Amino acid sequence: MDRKVQKYFFIVVLAMIIMSVIMLIAGIEGIIAVVYIFFGGAIYWMFNINDAFSPKKRIVFSILWLPFLFYIGIKGAKHWF
């Protein structure tokens, strides 16, 4: 991935984090669950494609990401069902 694409991708991810935080404060947990699942996938994909990150860093990142994703997912599921 070239630098320009990477920079653009980080801006998009940052915008999604800010949007998600605003949504969480507003209490729209169902939508935020969907956003985080997509957003987690996007970050995971970026880390796998980018050779600048060692496999060890990717594994640590994935492990750190999972509990957060599950927490938001469970809150979202409780909101909808």
The segments of the chain whose pLDDT lies below 50 read none
pLDDT score, position 50: 57
pLDDT score, position 7: 75
Which of 13, 71, 23 is CA-nearest to residue 43? 13
- Domain range summary for the chain, segments of one domain joined by +: 3-80
pLDDT score, position 80: 59
pLDDT score, position 12: 74
- DSSP letter at 27 equals T
pTM: 0.33
